[in-house]
Structure 1
Amino acid sequence: MRSFLKEVIDDIQKKELDISQLTFILPSKRAGTFLKDILSHSISKTTFAPEILSIEEFVESLSDLSYASNTELLFEFYLVYTQLTPEPQRDTFDQFSKWGQLLLQDFNEIDRYLIDPDHIFDYLKSIKELNHWSLSEQQTPYIKNYLAFWNRLKIYYNAFREKLILNKKGYQGLVYREAVNGIEPYIGSNPNKQHVFIGFNALNNAEERIIQELLQQDLADIYWDIDATFIKNPIHDAGLFIRQHLKNWPFYKNNQMNWVSENYRSEKNIQTIAVPKNIGQVKYIGELLDSLAPGDLKKTAVVLGDETLLMPLLNSIPQKVEAINITMGLPLKSVPMASLFDLVFKIQKNHNHTLYYKDVVAILSHSFIQSVLTHKGVNFSNQIINYIQSNNIVTISVDKLIALAGAKYEVVRLLFQSWENSSEKAFRNCSKLILTLKSELDLEKSKHLLALEYLYRFNQIFNELEHYNTKYNLISNSTTLYFLYKELLSSETLDFKGEPLQGLQIMGMLESRVLDFETVIISSVNEGILPAGKSSNSFIPFDVKLENGLPTYKEKDAVYTYHFYRLLQRAKNVYIIYNTEPDVLNGGEKSRFITQLQIENIHHIQHSIVVPNVEVVQKQPKIIEKTPGVITRLQQIAGNGFSPSSLTNYIRNPLDFYYEKVLKIQSFEDVEETVAANTLGSVIHQTLEDFYTPHKGQLLTEADLLQMKAQINASVAHHFKSFYKEGDMTKGKNLIILEVAKRYISNFINKEIETLKAGHQIKIIHLEKELDIAVVIPELDFKVRLKGTVDRIDEFDGTLRIIDYKTGKVNQGQVEIVDWEDITLDYNKYSKSFQILAYAYMLTATEGISQSLEAGIISFKNLQGDYFLKFGKKPSSRSRDKDHTITKETLDSFYGELKKLIIEICNPEIDFIEKDVGY
């Protein structure tokens, strides 16, 4: 394959021109690097290198202006705006910055296309006067201000332009307009200087004027890179601009075009590949690269339609690819350090000297902060996070955080102290934070080279912002600072080091201009990406743009059409990859470029759909083998005592029992922003224990219960404070839960009062009674104990009752049993029965009960009718007969099932097998 640049150089050599005396002008700097390489291989004798410029560099040299950054332009424009706008109608810099950038883009387009600014602004003003929303003859102040803004656009433009020219600076469009004015003096100063323009396509009016002037003076040649297929087809967008140039430029009335190639119709291997999801695309690109021969990689380009896929792609490059050159930079907003500063700004947004715990934890958990808050083996980040979680802190003061930070209090102060919405404090703190992070990372520099590079670039951004603030004094608060910081960050990139002419080339679509490759892989060829489609970020309506010759989305689409087809012109192998999956923003539609290739029917297009090779895996339950170590641990647990809840946990899922009891893995306790169910239960249990303890061994009276009711508010609040620690119970859901707890207890005591009024007697025997018994299991050669705590034991009209409190809803059916074998099989249905029978078994073994015994549950969510839900044994599932009395036979039957369960748990031959419990 002979590249376009090689063809140009060969043609120039054929004309026997002195290359060292030429000035080459190309669309991009990158194309200049490739041109130098081709020149080094094409010229056989020693000579001076010619001048090689990008079009922007050449235009800048003509204009006598230098390019200003977007941020600087915004500040300068605001100064002009404030001078020309009456104070009542004047926006603050915050408000202005949101629309100022848009207007600057319009100024840029007007100047690049040499549109008469007076004409277009008068045109816009007239439209707005016709279209405003008020139909009354008398205009309101809002209408007057609205129209005044459009009237002043021309004044803003002229004043801004004059100021920039005075300062020898400009936005791109102004530089181009001034360059047109500077072309005649330039020609006068360089009457013999020859220029070669290479590989252009879409030119704005200023570029056209400059190039045509040099062509007319016989001081330039221009080489177009276009294929006959596109230029001869009057409706093919790839040739749209060059057809217009041929038609409209006076130069081409007497001269031929250099030149039209016939490469596109040559035989090519073109494949379109449909891949689900963006990550699927980059993984497939990795497979494609792995299939290429090592020698072909240096002739291969990966062109990313969506440049955000750069990092995933780099992680998908196969090991055989030794050399990579990345044309595009890594966006600075994508590096980990950017997320840290985003979190710091987020903290400041609503800073009122107390901070939301999630914002604090997010910063303390950040990888960079974790490393700098570690001192002498102590990780202060984790210590603070653990303190917040263990004390259930939802909001925490800065002073408290500093106090918890130990030796690292200065870092914590910088991270969390308030900027008081002052830009000066913000700059000072950010600068100190960067220097503090640097000093910490410097201690182990070899480990943190990349982090230090990130830090250096962020330091540059804040220094630049501080410089602008010192010069213009317009960043009045941290909100404005954050907006400008994001604006600067969005345009900053980290450049990759590499040899630009070696290895695999990774680039964006615009970086591919003028360059040719034998193998081209293009990703994200979807509508909305390639081409970008309709978008209107402009004050100038579509029809006004058409009227005045400004580019619309159609021209922008044509630019990408040209670049897409130009990549295909000389390539031999083309892989066009698109995402098949619908996306929130872009949809899943393949690009019109692919459809166009199919309809043209010039090449045979191979279509394929690629999906991940996902094997159908039947979910297998996890199985944990009972090793000798596990058996030893189970024997320890048995000796210490199984609790009814641990046994029902085993019934529910043996794996949970293994994790909790054998491995002692506790569930992670996060901060309770809203009171958890177990906290509510603990508060109710503790409150009732406090109420009934003074009455142990006594018959309850109505007066006793009324006295308890009077103490509900104080006692519940006290226990919430105890369990919920520093959590806020004064508002929101927590306040509702506090009232629910009070209502539960009040309703329960009311039920107790009703029971006494009905003539029943209740005598409190025990509260929170701890039971611990030995369980004789002849089959096991080690001791087994059963232990647990009964919420309440009382005597009701002479019958002993074992009571378990439940804050959740329990139905009568959950404390009834038909077949004893089921009690250790179905957790959902029989776990409540198992627990209360275990308590009855332990109590009987401990105290040798002679009187009639009942066991049951009081459900605070189900205090209807007979609120004590008694355990019952039924002869059949349909029978209404129930035996509520717990007899020796009942306990013997329970013991049989309990013994079987414990033997199963301790049996080395029976592994812990996971149950599907519908997590």
Structure 2
Amino acid sequence: MTSFIEDVIADLNQKGLNIPQLTFVLPSRRAGIFLKHQLSKHSSHTFFAPEIVSIEEFVETLSDLQNISNTELIFEFYEVYLKLTEKEHQESFDEVSKWAQMLIQDFNEMDRYLIPPNNIFDYLSAIKEIEHHHWSLDEAPSAFVKNYLLFWNQLKHYYNALQEQLLEQNKGYQGLVYRKAVDNLEQFISSNPHKTFVFMGFNALNKAEETIIQELLQQGLAHIYWDLDDTFLKNPEHDAGLFIRQHKATWPYLKQNAFNWLHKHYTSPKNITITGVPKNVSQIKYIGELLSTLNTDQNTLKNTAIVLGNEELLLPLLNSIPKNIGAVNITMGLPLKSVPMVALFDQILKLHVKAGNHFYYKDALAILSNQFVRPLLSQSTTQVGDVISKIEENNIIYLSLEKLITLFNNEYTEILSTLFGTWKDHPDIALDNCFKLISFLKTYLDLDKDSNMLPLEYLYRFNALFNELNTLNRQHKHIQTIATLYSFYKELLSTETLDFQGEPLEGLQIMGMLETRALDFDSLIIASVNEGILPAGKSQNSFIPYDVKLENKLPTYKEKDAVYTYHFYRLLQRAKDVHILYNTETDALNTGEKSRFITQLEIEGIHDIDHKVVTPKIPKITKQLKKITKTEPVLEQLKKLSKAGFSPSSLTNYIRNPIDFYTQKILGVKTYEDVEESIAANTLGTVIHNTLEDLYTPYKGQLLEIAHLQAMKAQIDDMVKKHFRDTYKEGDITTGKNLIIYEVAKRYVLNTLNLEIDDLKKGNEIKIIGLEEEFKTLLPIPELEFPVYLTGKVDRIDQYNGITRIIDYKSGKVDQGKVEVVNWEDLTSDYDKYSKSFQVLSYALMMKASGNIAATNMEAGIISFKNLNAGFLKFAKKDRAGSYAKKNSIIDDDTLQHFSEVLKHLILEICNPAVDFEEKEV
């Protein structure tokens, strides 16, 4: 089947028109490339190519104005705003820019549809006044209401002044360009009496375009070719023909001349498959599967198009195209906001928006770890990884430039100053530093140019973006803060694209819906055909109410949806194989509802449609518990560990989960320590332990007296602060949650001393024997051919009324039940319930083996800082379960003998080559 463009060329040749002398006006530049190609195919001789322009370029030529960018327009509007607004009512540039964009869009619509401005502005002003009288009970309006009404009265003055200011510079926004083009039309026609224009592939036209085209047609200077199926024109309810039905009914020229053309391609046989796929990425992966089944002949591929309803899916699509596809032509361009480098500039600008001279460590680390910055700061002896480790180890929550330079050992000073220097409220400095950073990155990437061509292209685009911002700001000087700079950076970023270079007429075509205008393909894959995407649905980003738009024949959401209805159905007209995909899942911005286009296709009943829903194959996931065989290297490591000594905590770690023991003790994998923004429980415990050790050390070997403990109380503040400084490094304990934890630490120490004072007042005698005493004891295990040691550090050893006590401090809450045991075998079966008993018995065994303490006078237990009222929680052997069981808290030879057997059995299991390390199910 011939394409629309081929049909037009054939008709022009049949009419005997001299094609080189024609000017073709098309909906988009993209269609112009295909037109040139078809012209060359349908000519038997060499000729100069005719002039081919888009409708926007043609109208701009008529207007004699230069089109102004949206961002520059905001700057121009703000100057108008300042001139027309009294100083006491003026808002900042940042505030005005938020509503100015919507207002300018309304100006744009009014001008493109040639609406007399007073028709709308006077109406809006009057209706707001009526609304005020309706809802306000005050006869005299407040200052707020006055300003509100003043705003609506000012709109037409903003409009007129903005136009005057732009026209003085021969510039114009799109609407102004269109209005001026209509004003210049008569002069243009008189200046070009022998030109012939060919308008082709149009559908929705604004009033200005209609006026221009109709006048050229009436003067015999133009031909127009429509591309519409008879099916849509005859059906008054079908939105695909909404605009062309209106043109056919209202244009005088079309009432007197033939309508080119109505055809009947849509009803020809087609293979249409509609597929629901969960999630956007699954749609893209499914497209990859479809492409793998295609004929990879280049003639087939160049007549195949993938149309993305959601253009943000371009990047994942490029990563899903099968390798056998070969040439791919991408029309739409990659949004600059989707490239990896955007994260770097976004992080830097956001950092300086909210920071002064100090930066939150996570924001700083995000920049230091960025894939583009990290290589810049790793070219000398100091590496980024080392600096990050220092920040984490020292709990540095807020960083300054000076601190970072110190951490980098005074290397990379210039780069660090560029990234972290003071930008606050200095947009010029911010822009200069962005240019410096681009220069640093370019120098580094240039060193290995062949593998860095794409990042270099990113840099070029960002350099152009910041250049535009810099030019606008130096010219208008309205950007006063980093926040405003960031806002406009985001605005520019959203419109910039990274254009792909390739052969546009070869290979698989990838495009957005608007790029398909006037083009035809045999095979189509259309993705994201969901409500809210195709069509976009209701959106009211306008100051002009819906009823006012209807009254003045301005487009509403209905007309905007009809535009996409036309594009969608026009694509289907000449296609033979069509795959329509939609997302079945609900997410943040998508309802998961298939588009009304799909429902309409199904209800029409013109084509047989294969509708299906596919889901990814999800393998059944069953958790496989890890099992590690004890190889020779593992056994060698166990021997080394045995000689160094098993600690009670490592043994209880094995009881809890053998895989954790293997990971930490055999492989030596350390737990990752992040920056402690809030003091962690283990840090709190360490501080309390060390404080108590320092307070009691001067009285070691003495009987405690109340005076000693009172003297200790006076040192609590300084001692706790010192140990927080030693343990928590540069972490801040002066504010917030950390201040509370600091006070809690002091209170725990004070309460411990008060507990001792109460004991002494009751007549008890306490003598400190040892503090943080380290032990290493040989365990006699004849079954093993290598020595096995038990090692550990006891928090405190004292004599309480002549009985030796082994005390382990715990910062968490421990109850008496956690230090009692009925059956000895239970010690190695339940970590949560018996790990505390296991630990204190290990300390007792090491004490006994040291030969310094008589086993008959020994107790072991825990002082829990969160359960101080319970006092010393003694280990006890119970004769049976239940609250009425007999307890024996004295650790004698019999107790230690039973525990030794349990300990021996555990260590034999750990060292047994035949017993694997098996993960326990949590």
Indicate the TM-score class for this superposition, using the shorter chain for normalisation: over 0.9
> Counterpart of 1:279?
281
User: Per the alignment, in what secondary structure is the counterpart of residue 808 of structure 1?
Assistant: coil
Question: Offset of 1:852 from its aligned partner?
Answer: 2.0
Amino acid at match of 1:244: Q
User: Does 386-395 or 846-855 show the bigger shift?
Assistant: 846-855
Query: Deviation per CA, 1:287-339, whole angstroms, max 9, x where unpaired?
Result: 11111111233221111111111111111111111111111111112222221
Query: Deviation per CA, 1:395-437, whole angstroms, max 9, x where unpaired?
Result: 1221121233333111011100112311222222222222222
> Counterpart of 1:817?
821
**Matched-pair contact (CA < 8 Å) for 1:324–1:505:** yes
Question: Is 1:640 aligned to residue 644 of structure 2?
Answer: yes
> Counterpart of 1:80?
80
Percentage of matched positions with identical amino acids: 60
User: Per the alignment, in what secondary structure is the counterpart of residue 320 of structure 1?
Assistant: helix
> Counterpart of 2:798?
794
Query: Deviation per CA, 1:617-653, whole angstroms, max 9, x where unpaired?
Result: 2110122222211111111111111111011111111
> Counterpart of 1:898?
903
Amino acid at match of 2:612: S
Question: Offset of 1:379 from its aligned partner?
Answer: 4.9
User: Per the alignment, in what secondary structure is the counterpart of residue 702 of structure 2?
Assistant: coil
> Counterpart of 1:625?
629
Amino acid at match of 1:238: A
Question: Is 1:68 aligned to residue 68 of structure 2?
Answer: yes
Question: Is 1:107 aligned to residue 107 of structure 2?
Answer: yes
Question: Is 1:392 aligned to residue 395 of structure 2?
Answer: yes
> Counterpart of 1:915?
920
**Matched-pair contact (CA < 8 Å) for 1:375–1:407:** no
Amino acid at match of 2:526: I
> Counterpart of 1:863?
868
> Counterpart of 1:17?
17
> Counterpart of 1:600?
604
1:248-647 aligned within 5 A: 248-295=250-297, 296-376=300-380, 378-405=381-408, 406-647=410-651
C-alpha distance in 2, partners of 1:809/1:28? 73
Query: Deviation per CA, 1:243-298, whole angstroms, max 9, x where unpaired?
Result: 11111111122223111111111221111111111111111111111111112332
User: Per the alignment, in what secondary structure is the counterpart of residue 600 of structure 2?
Assistant: helix
> TM-score, normalising length from structure 2?
0.97
**Matched-pair contact (CA < 8 Å) for 1:351–1:418:** no
Question: Is 1:720 aligned to residue 724 of structure 2?
Answer: yes
> Counterpart of 2:206?
204
C-alpha distance in 2, partners of 1:397/1:120? 54
C-alpha distance in 2, partners of 1:813/1:592? 66
**Matched-pair contact (CA < 8 Å) for 2:311–2:512:** yes
Query: Deviation per CA, 1:593-613, whole angstroms, max 9, x where unpaired?
Result: 111112112222212111111
C-alpha distance in 2, partners of 1:523/1:114? 36
User: Does 501-510 or 897-906 show the bigger shift?
Assistant: 897-906
Question: Offset of 1:342 from its aligned partner?
Answer: 1.3
C-alpha distance in 2, partners of 1:231/1:588? 31
C-alpha distance in 1, partners of 2:577/2:845? 80
Amino acid at match of 2:847: L
Question: Offset of 1:134 from its aligned partner?
Answer: 3.2
User: Per the alignment, in what secondary structure is the counterpart of residue 402 of structure 1?
Assistant: helix
**Matched-pair contact (CA < 8 Å) for 2:795–2:809:** yes
Question: Is 1:121 aligned to residue 125 of structure 2?
Answer: no
C-alpha distance in 2, partners of 1:689/1:89? 66
Query: Deviation per CA, 1:654-680, whole angstroms, max 9, x where unpaired?
Result: 111112111111111111110000000
> Counterpart of 1:155?
157
> Counterpart of 1:774?
778
User: For 1:887, which of 892, 898, 901 is the aligned residue?
Assistant: 892
> Counterpart of 1:175?
177
CA change 1:848–1:379 in 2 (3 A) is closer
Amino acid at match of 1:332: L
Question: Is 1:696 aligned to residue 700 of structure 2?
Answer: yes
Amino acid at match of 1:397: S
User: Does 327-336 or 878-887 show the bigger shift?
Assistant: 878-887
Question: Is 1:48 aligned to residue 48 of structure 2?
Answer: yes
Question: Offset of 1:473 from its aligned partner?
Answer: 2.0
Query: Deviation per CA, 1:792-811, whole angstroms, max 9, x where unpaired?
Result: 11112222111111101112
**Matched-pair contact (CA < 8 Å) for 1:522–1:575:** yes
C-alpha distance in 1, partners of 2:869/2:325? 74
C-alpha distance in 2, partners of 1:331/1:212? 37
Number of aligned residue pairs: give it: 915
Amino acid at match of 2:401: V
Question: Offset of 1:440 from its aligned partner?
Answer: 2.5
**Matched-pair contact (CA < 8 Å) for 1:685–1:805:** yes
C-alpha distance in 2, partners of 1:72/1:334? 23
> Counterpart of 1:854?
859
User: Per the alignment, in what secondary structure is the counterpart of residue 25 of structure 1?
Assistant: strand
Question: Offset of 1:848 from its aligned partner?
Answer: 5.4
**C-alpha RMSD of matched pairs (Å):** 1.5
Amino acid at match of 2:205: L
CA change 1:94–1:750 in 2 (3 A) is same
> Counterpart of 2:26?
26
Question: Offset of 1:855 from its aligned partner?
Answer: 1.1
Question: Offset of 1:188 from its aligned partner?
Answer: 1.3
Query: Deviation per CA, 1:330-355, whole angstroms, max 9, x where unpaired?
Result: 11122222211111112212332122
User: Does 354-363 or 702-711 show the bigger shift?
Assistant: 702-711
Amino acid at match of 2:37: D
Amino acid at match of 1:81: Y
Question: Is 1:97 aligned to residue 97 of structure 2?
Answer: yes
Q: Which runs of 5+ in 2 are unaligned?
A: none
**Matched-pair contact (CA < 8 Å) for 1:403–1:409:** no
Question: Offset of 1:781 from its aligned partner?
Answer: 0.9
Question: Offset of 1:780 from its aligned partner?
Answer: 1.1
Question: Offset of 1:756 from its aligned partner?
Answer: 2.1
User: Does 198-207 or 94-103 show the bigger shift?
Assistant: 94-103
C-alpha distance in 1, partners of 2:858/2:33? 95
Amino acid at match of 1:902: I
- Give the 4+ runs in structure 1 shifted more than 6 A: none
User: Per the alignment, in what secondary structure is the counterpart of residue 53 of structure 2?
Assistant: strand
C-alpha distance in 2, partners of 1:289/1:662? 50
Question: Offset of 1:891 from its aligned partner?
Answer: 1.4
**Matched-pair contact (CA < 8 Å) for 1:369–1:381:** no
C-alpha distance in 2, partners of 1:44/1:908? 87
User: Per the alignment, in what secondary structure is the counterpart of residue 785 of structure 1?
Assistant: strand
C-alpha distance in 2, partners of 1:407/1:798? 62
1:128-139 aligned within 5 A: 128-132=128-132, 133-139=135-141
**Matched-pair contact (CA < 8 Å) for 1:370–1:379:** no
C-alpha distance in 2, partners of 1:495/1:611? 33
**Matched-pair contact (CA < 8 Å) for 2:353–2:424:** no
**Matched-pair contact (CA < 8 Å) for 2:405–2:411:** no
> TM-score, normalising length from structure 1?
0.98
User: For 1:684, which of 681, 685, 688 is the aligned residue?
Assistant: 688
Q: Which runs of 5+ in 1 are unaligned?
A: none
Question: Is 1:745 aligned to residue 721 of structure 2?
Answer: no
User: Per the alignment, in what secondary structure is the counterpart of residue 869 of structure 2?
Assistant: coil
Question: Is 1:230 aligned to residue 235 of structure 2?
Answer: no
User: Per the alignment, in what secondary structure is the counterpart of residue 412 of structure 1?
Assistant: helix
**Matched-pair contact (CA < 8 Å) for 2:382–2:411:** no
> Counterpart of 2:677?
673
